[in-house]
Amino acid sequence: MDAFYASVEQRDAPELRGKPVIVAGSEQGRGVVAAASYEARRFGVRSAMPTRTALRLCPEVIRIRPRHEHYAQVSQKIRSIFLSYTPLVEPLALDECYLDLTEYCQRKGERLAVVARAIKAELARAVSLSSSAGGAPCKFVAKVASDLRKPNGLVIVPPEQVEDFLEPLPVERLWGVGPVTAARFHQLGLTCIGQVAACQPEWLRARFGRAGYEFWMLAHGRDERPVEPDRDARSISAERTFALDQNAPEPVLQELAAQSAEVAERLARLGAQARTVVLKLRYDDFATVTRSHTPGRPVREAEEIFSLASRLLESRTEFPDRAVRLVGVGVSGLTDPNAPVQLELFSRED
């Protein structure tokens, strides 16, 4: 969805339409911009930016405090539309999903572009919001395509055009290429994806380690991960790979807040609560760590999940001394909220 939180606020309050709007916490402390309307973006305001910076760039910007529960309700309506087309829906966040429409297109005899336009039109009618979509044979290329023509964009990349599509794009579009890695690519004379694709994978591996082979695969549009539908299970999680490696607290905390809201919304749909909160980080060298905490009583609210996850981030990881490329929040030990709870004298961390 395009500028999801800000667009919901403009939809609900017509007087905000056409004006620069941010959904953000306080300008004091660690307040960050969760979403910025396209009117605000003209002033250089972006999501994950400190609120105080956004107010400095655009003094007339209108700041709205986040309404995560409301956004989760809108997201549920959007998700139900996706599920009417295919059960293969993999949520990445409240406003973003992967869909596998292969079977639907084959059964209906429709081209992907036609189906994608129909879904976009149905979203506009049902929730009065614009969306951008990308269609491709794999997740990576679809994600890149969906980002190219925002807002209200649609980019379809047929299988035979994948490498031509990727070739002129900057290396920064490759997953896992942050500022440091991009600088290394540039020093090697590699500035676009096509140049990376033309390298020998062994040459890239020698310079970037295991990530070098992954860069080579992505540069050729090879991403074999299937769309994994959102299944009810013993645990719930949300995670995101950043387009650029992050070592500043604000964007990572903002993403943790959004993921906590996503996890809480899914807990609410299940009518469940969770005993343990789990934080997942993948550093810029692809090393992955998980940290968990089991408080004295189960959690179910976004604020509780975010509080515990952010404490784990600050006290039990090497961030921000090491940049991260992926962050995720999860909960486990799902229980019925009406079940009796044995209170613990001490909380534990594992």
Catalytic residues, by residue number, are 96
Burial (CB < 10 A; 0-12, 13-18, 19+), residue 38, is middle
Asked if 29 and 14 touch (Cβ cutoff 8 Å), the reply is no
SS3 178: coil
Q: Whole-angstrom Cα distance, residue 333 to residue 350? A: 14
Asked if 1 and 14 touch (Cβ cutoff 8 Å), the reply is no
Provide the token pair at 255. 């993403």
Identify the CA nearest to 245 among candidates 183, 291, 180, 191. Answer: 180
The region that residue 176 occupies, defined by phi over 0 for left and psi between -120 and 50 for alpha, beta otherwise, is: left
Identify the CA nearest to 104 among candidates 90, 94, 118. Answer: 118
Provide the token pair at 316. 């039990």
CB atoms < 10 A from the CB of 203, how many? Answer: 12
* Alpha-carbon torsion angle 93, 94, 99, 104, nearest 10: 170
- The two beta strands, 133-135 and 96-99, are unpaired
SS3 153: coil
Q: Which residue has the tokens 């003094």?
A: 59
Asked if 90 and 230 touch (Cβ cutoff 8 Å), the reply is yes
